[in-house]
Structure 1
Amino acid sequence: MKIKSSLPLSATNLFLSLYLFCGSAHAQDKPATFTQVSVETSSSSLLDNSDLPDAPQAPVSGPVAEQEGVQTKRILGIFPNFRAVSANTHLPPQTVLEKFKTASQDSFDYSSIFLPAAVAGINQATNSTPEFRQGAAGYGRYYWHAFADQAVENYTVEAIFPVITREDNRYYTLGRGGFMKRAGYSLSRVVITRNDAGNETFNISEIVGAGAGAGLSNLYYPSRERTLGNTVSKWGSNIGIDAGTFLFHEFWPDINHKLFHGKQPSQ
């Protein structure tokens, strides 16, 4: 009997003990919770105080990465650079009109007088075409022939053959790597170009177009100058000038950055 009556009593005592313990623990937790809330509320009110000075901002440190291979529309603000495309730039295919527009810009831009002027001076100094003679009149003959050569070659290489072969006449800047890598890339563009689909292909427009331009120029040169040797020589000169132009296109962004900090006017 004692055992039987002691079980409920023990259970009751255990329950009361647990209840009192939990109640005591709960009562002890309340001040701590109140204190924590009070501190947080006090901290929030301090942070929201508009009278406090602004926190000092950490200065931005570290070099800013330079954008590589950024082309301008003109070189030195004068010479046309319309065919050069900045590095890592993806453009839609050119239309027929855009190809002829590029050729026209390179042929009749206000700066297009400079290269023929230099070529005419060299040709006159070397007496390359004796029929033109010397003096101002002779220089004029050399000049307009050089200007016509430039325009004819521009249209055959940049417009007529790119339309026929569906090739892109623009120069896509590599803009990264060492000098030899970039120089090799730029010179290789004489024989490698992109088609309108964006894939690399043999540069028919440059090789065949430059030859066609040299052949067409025979139409307005004296008959004695219309030889195979002169035509091949002019063909090679056209390709050589274009190769040098590609090389300059590739490194113009670097020159522009070093000399003008990239602020050279683009128009």
Structure 2
Amino acid sequence: MKRYLIAPAASLLFSPLLLAQGTNLLPVAEARLEQPVPLPDAPSAVRDSLEDQASQSNANSPVRANVGNYGRPVAKKYASVIYPGQQSLPLSATDKMVYAVPDSFGLMNLASIMTSAGWSHLVDSAPHYGRNSEAFGKRVGAATLRNATQSLTTDAVFAPLFRDDPRYYQMGRDQNFFKRGLYAASRVVVTRSDSGHQTLNAPLLLGYGTAAGISNFIYPDQDTGAKATLGNYGMSLGGAAIGMLANEFLDDALRIVHLRK
């Protein structure tokens, strides 16, 4: 009989303790009930999460060599034109010397040589070699030497010396046509430094001046001297402006005739 009375007595003895413990547990239980039940992510959140994961994966992938900061595509290191939205790689002094070689003998320079020699032969302007086929060959040779000297001294000598970037940074179709034209023509006297700031295009001005001076050693006597050299220098700068305009608008022209997408 005593054994059956032990359990009720024990419950009476420990009931205050159990009640106190239960009172302490109530706030915890209520707090747990008050916490919001997590809902599944919205589709946009899931998409963003996947894109972040993909970006992180691409960052560790060697395929990402053509993507730079902020996901911008990286232009080829020795590209002569940097398009809007592209990230350019820095060029060291050695890189600029390497860049000067294809820039001196590329398709654009070849077109410039033939145009200059052809126009000079057509109107019989300086250099005055005559009007026969031999004269045209001399004009092509002189134009080749002049253009190569211009490019090599500008890109490989003066650009490293003044720490300027020899590449052309295109403004692009998002801008006004006339604004683009003015910008392109102004690149003859304004360029971008290696640090990205606008500065005087001393490499081009000095490089073209050097080529104009060298022309005195290959042109006929009537096309040499200070006055003729200054005239040749001015014509060369005008040709440089035309080249800058081509860099800005050539892609648009090719798209118009459906030669480029």
Aligned residues of 1:107 and 1:150 also touching (Cα < 8 A): yes
TM alignment of 1:68-79, pairs within 5 A: none
Question: Which residue of the partner structure matches residue 50 of structure 1?
Answer: none
1:75-114 to structure 2, matched below 5 A, reads 82-109=79-106, 112-114=109-111
Pairwise CA distance, 1:246 = 1.2
- SS of structure 2 residue aligned to 1:218: helix
TM-score, length of structure 1 as denominator length: 0.62
1:166 maps to what in 2? 163
Aligned to 2:216: 218
Structure 1 residue 145, shift from structure 2 partner: 0.7
Asked whether 1:256 is paired with 2:251, we answer no
Which whole-Å CA distance do the structure 2 matches of 1:82 and 1:137 have between them? 36
- In structure 2, the partner of 1:233 is 231
**Distance in 2, Cα, partners of 1:161 & 1:251:** 27
How far apart are the structure 1 equivalents of 2:163 and 2:205? 15
Moved more, 87-96 or 240-249: 87-96
In structure 1, the partner of 2:132 is 135
Instruction: State the structure with more CA Rg.
Output: 1
What is the SS of the residue equivalent to 2:257?
helix
Unaligned runs of 5+ in 1: 1-69, 74-80
- The 1:248–1:131 alpha-carbon spacing in structure 2 relative to 1, beyond 3 Å, is closer
CA distance in 1, matches of 2:152, 2:229: 18
**Any idea what the Cα deviations from partners look like across 1:196-247, whole Å, max 9, x if unmatched?**
1111111111222211221122222234422111111111111111111111
Q: Is the 8 A contact 1:153 1:238 kept in 2?
A: no
**Aligned counterpart, 1:177:** 175
1:151, CA displacement in angstroms?
A: 0.8
Measure, in 2, the Cα distance between the counterparts of 1:113 and 1:180.
27
Q: Which amino acid in 1 is paired with 2:246?
A: F
Residues 127, 220 of structure 2: 8 Å contact kept:
no
Q: Is 1:161–1:205's contact at 8 Å kept on the other side of the alignment?
A: yes
**1:262: how far off?**
3.7
Q: Identify if the C-alpha distance between structure 1 residues 188 and 148 changes in structure 2 by more than 3 Å, giving closer, same or farther.
A: same
CA contact (8 A) 1:195 1:201 kept: yes
Query: What number of residue pairs does the alignment pair up?
Result: 186
Q: Deviations over 1:85-113 (max 9, x none)?
A: 11122223212233223321132236644
Q: TM-score, normalised by structure 2?
A: 0.63
Any idea what SS the aligned residue of 1:157 has? helix
* Contact 1:152-1:217 within 8 A present in 2 as well: no
Change (3 A) 1:114 1:212: same
- Please list, as runs of the form range in 1=range in 2, the aligned pairs for 1:10-25 lying within 5 A after superposition: none
Q: Residue 153 in 1 paired to residue 147 in 2?
A: no
Query: Is contact 1:93-1:197 (8 Å) kept?
Result: no
Distance between the aligned counterparts of 2:248 and 2:115, measured in 1?
23
Q: Secondary structure at the match of 1:90?
A: coil
* Superposition CA RMSD, Å: 2.6
Deviation, structure 1 residue 261: 7.1
CA offset digits 1:43-77 (Å, max 9, x no partner)? xxxxxxxxxxxxxxxxxxxxxxxxxxx9x99xxxx
Please give the secondary structure, in 2, of the residue aligned with 1:132. coil
Once the two structures are superposed, what CA deviation does each residue of 1:13-68 show, in whole Å capped at 9, x if it has no partner? xxxxxxxxxxxxxxxxxxxxxxxxxxxxxxxxxxxxxxxxxxxxxxxxxxxxxxxx
* 8 Å CA contact retained: 2:81, 2:167: yes
Whether the 8 Å contact between 2:149 and 2:207 is mirrored in structure 1 is no
Q: Taking every aligned residue pair, what percent have the same amino acid on both sides?
A: 29
Query: Structure 1's 87 and 120: CA in aligned 2 closer, same or farther, altered over 3 A?
Result: same
Matched, 1:125 2:122: yes
- Which residue pairs with 2:184 in the alignment? 186
